[in-house]
Amino acid sequence: MRSVDANMNNQYRDIRLGTDIGGTFTDIVLNVRGQSISTKVLTNQKAPEAGILEGISVVTRKAGIGADEIGMIIHGTTLATNALIERRGAKCAFVTTEGFRDVIEMRTENRFDQYDLNLRLNPPLIERQYRFAVRGRLDANGNELEPLDEASIEGLAQKFDAAGFESVAVGFIHAYADGSHERRARDILAAMLRDVPISLSSEVAPQMREYQRFSTVCANAYIHPRIARYLTNLQKLLAEAGAECPVYMIHSAGGLISIDTAKRFPVRLIESGPAGGAIFAAGAAARFGFDKAVSFDMGGTTAKICLIENGEPGTSREFEVARSHRFCRGSGMPISIPVIDMIEIGAGGGSIVWVDGMARIQIGPQSAGSEPGPASYQRGGTQATVTDADILLGKIDPNNFAGGAIELSASAASAAIERDIGMRLSLDTSTAAFGISEVVDENMSNAARVHAIENGKDISEYVMIAFGGAAPLHASRLCEKLGIKRCLIPPGAGVGSAIGFLQAPFSYEAVATRVVSLSRFDVDAVNDMLADLVASAEGFVRAGTTAQIRLELTAFMRYQGQGWEIPVPLKLQRLKGHDVNVIQRHFEACYRGFFGRTIDVLDDLEIEVVSWSVKATERKRKPNRVQPLAGSDTPLTHIFRQVVDTTSGETLDCRVVARKDLHKGARYSGPLLIVEPETATYVSSRYDAAIQMDHSILLSAKCEAEDG
């Protein structure tokens, strides 16, 4: 803690480095007193830390500083996610309650695809022979029905030692209500198994529903040794390279945690890269004062969409990782931890296009990726992709892609689309390309609309923030489909996640299940539990910062008898008896927000709280506000290219201009194509583009510009 303070006070506190290890690239962003220098290096699959060191040497050289001058390193990685997807984890044992050995294998007893007779399920993360059941049982309120069989746990410890297990997960029924059996089991195991990490479900994911909780604790144990090794090694290498500054990790909910916390709870690192993207968008939304924003991140393989309110991305308490059928709900393993709530669909530039049995154009989820790549890359890929369609529509200039670094073949794109789509559907190539673009845009806008609706929101009131290689090409059509009036394309979008890391606050969300009905509300017990949650959440944040901490309380509530809880934000304070009425009013207001009306015909219907969450966040200085500029009409003389307008399907003469040549404060009328090395922004005929003081591009619907 002392070393953090020392660093905070020294002159280097303004030099921070963010690094995001992705599947293909490792992004590095160095921020030296407000100036950003970034680079991308290929991810080193065998030794991911080597890519970071390589990147650091590139950016420090460019900045003319030494590694020892870096004040803080913030790191996010897909390693945790990939270890689960690729099943590269530890030899792991699971200790559970007698009678429940197969919970993670029986799942919800459901088939995620109702019509597939040859359905394949993911094998359980920990195989049956490595799952062990012991006696000892609590009831739903946490009362002991049967004492823990300590002798058999001792027996297991000997067995684990002999068999060389590298990690152990413990998950008992109703442990979210009382974790004492689990802690006792850990003590017994730890006495005999030195240096073997032991993960408890009551600590990793103390929420009701055994399948989700056990799945989470097993995932934590499974990746624990690998991630701990990696982080220890990374710290060592960084120190050797002179970067002895503190290193913090981005967690799934988009905040920072210490390396020690990350080593104990490696599941909290899952999806940390995409979380960085959401923070990047949230930062832009906060600067421009957009209270309601939706981030749209479209890369080579997937599109990710996240709602941001008042500068904060939405969070959820559960998600699914490692879906075997890439995006099919129910085909992955559930992870019950706080996470940035985003949806991801198989729609990217490299998504492969095909025709289904109903003569419908389908997109993905398979992606040509960067190897072999879209047909137009001519690197071995022959199947038509979304990028190939964008070339034929005129939105991508094949002779000036990635700043001219890669030469694309329009004829290869055309041949692939004609063969894969045009001939099958008797469409000319240009119409086929239009169809591809329209279908992928519809898929993404559908996903965005449904995501908003599931959160009780109306997406047309939001401002879109688009980043990632393919997003600016598709953003204006998406906005049209969603009724969104404004769209911001910030600069630096190519390394958005790593930039986002630098903006992330220290934060930790502690969640616990404690079912309490409002009519029998035990104020003292709830206050005690909340105090524990506050202590836990604050403790994790204090490990990284001495700044002021903001605390937020959310109750997850429902009418008794329902199975779905809605989040109800409450004021965190010592509750008194009459606060129950306030809680009820908040619940009813939130319920109306989600479902239109409350259920008021039922006189004796109980309302209950199922789970509680306390989120502690480091208070950060408010970003400097940027006033959005409407801009003044600026004519452009260049007329270069024919582009198929995605709104009408008509071919239009479209002006093309380089982003670097645009003037701050200028407004240009669509259709317009703004090109830059990493991507291009297509401004459809229904939008204007105004260049902002920070070089962001702000699209506004034309009718709105006229009104206001």
For other proteins, give the closer residue by CB, 284 or 701.
701
Residue with Cβ nearer other proteins (98 or 532):
98
Contact criterion met (CB below 8 Å) for 132 and 101? yes
Residue-by-residue DSSP string for 339-392: EE-EEEES-STTEEEEE-TTS-EEEEEEE-TTTT--GGG-SS--S-BHHHHHHH
Shortest Cβ distance from residue 417 to other proteins (Å)? 14
Under the binding rule (CB under 8 A), the answer on residue 599 touching other proteins is: yes
Q: Name residues contacting other proteins, limited to 104-123 (CB under 8 A).
A: 105-106, 108-111, 114-121
Closest approach of other proteins to the CB of residue 103, in Å: 8
Give the residue among 207, 245, 492, 520 at the shortest CA–CA distance from 334: 207
DSSP label at 11? G
Site for other proteins in 404-433 (CB under 8 A): 425, 427-428, 431
Among positions 99, 147, 155, 380, the unique one binding other proteins when judged by CB under 8 A: 99
Q: Which of residues 563-592 bind other proteins (CB under 8 A)?
A: 563-564
Q: How far is the CB of 374 from other proteins (least distance, A)?
A: 21
**Residue 402 region by backbone torsions, left for phi larger than 0, else alpha for psi between -120 and 50, else beta:** left
Helix (H, G, I), strand (E, B) or coil at 272: helix
* Nearest approach, Cβ of residue 703 and other proteins (Å): 15
- Kindly state the tokens that stand for 91: 């030899």
* x/- map, 442-471, other proteins, by CB under 8 A: xx--x--xx--xx-----------------
Q: How far is the CB of 294 from other proteins (least distance, A)?
A: 17
Number of residues that bind other proteins (CB under 8 A): 74
Taking CA 664 as the corner, what is the angle to CA 662 and CA 668, rounded to the nearest 5 degrees?
Answer: 55
Nearest approach in angstroms of CB 310 to other proteins is 25
If the CB atoms of residues 423 and 599 are measured against other proteins, the closer one turns out to be: 599
Positions 313 through 372 that interact with other proteins (CB under 8 A): 356-361
Q: Which stretch binds other proteins (CB under 8 A): 191-199, 277-285, 599-607, 633-641?
A: 599-607
Task: Considering only residues 504 through 523, tell me which ones interact with other proteins, judged by CB under 8 A.
Answer: 515
Residue type, 584: Q
Distance CA 70, CA 50 (A): 18
C-alpha angle 258/261/263, rounded to 5°? 110
- C-alpha 158/C-alpha 79 separation (Å) is 31
Identified binder of other proteins from the candidate list 98, 532, 579, 588, rule CB under 8 A: 98
* CA 361 and chain centroid, separation: 28
Residue 529 buriedness (CB in 10 A; 0-12 / 13-18 / 19+): middle
Per CB under 8 A, which region of 7-15, 50-58, 545-553, 558-566 contacts other proteins?
A: 558-566
Taking the complex as a whole, the smallest distance from the CB of residue 278 to other proteins amounts, in Å, to: 23
And the tokens for 520?
């029998």
Please report which residue ranges of 241-337 form alpha helices under DSSP H: 259-264, 272-288
Q: Is 159 in the site for other proteins (CB under 8 A)?
A: no
User: What residue type is 605 in one-letter code?
Assistant: L
Q: Min. distance of Cβ 320 from other proteins in angstroms?
A: 14
Interaction between residue 602 and other proteins (CB under 8 A)? yes
> CB of 313 within 8 A of CB of 254?
yes
Q: Does 239 bind other proteins (CB under 8 A)?
A: no
- Pick 87 or 619: Cβ nearer other proteins: 87
H/E element holding 19?
A: strand 15-21
Closest to other proteins by CB, 439 or 674:
439
Name the one residue in this structure whose structure tokens are 């009382």.
178
Q: Does 164 bind other proteins (CB under 8 A)?
A: no
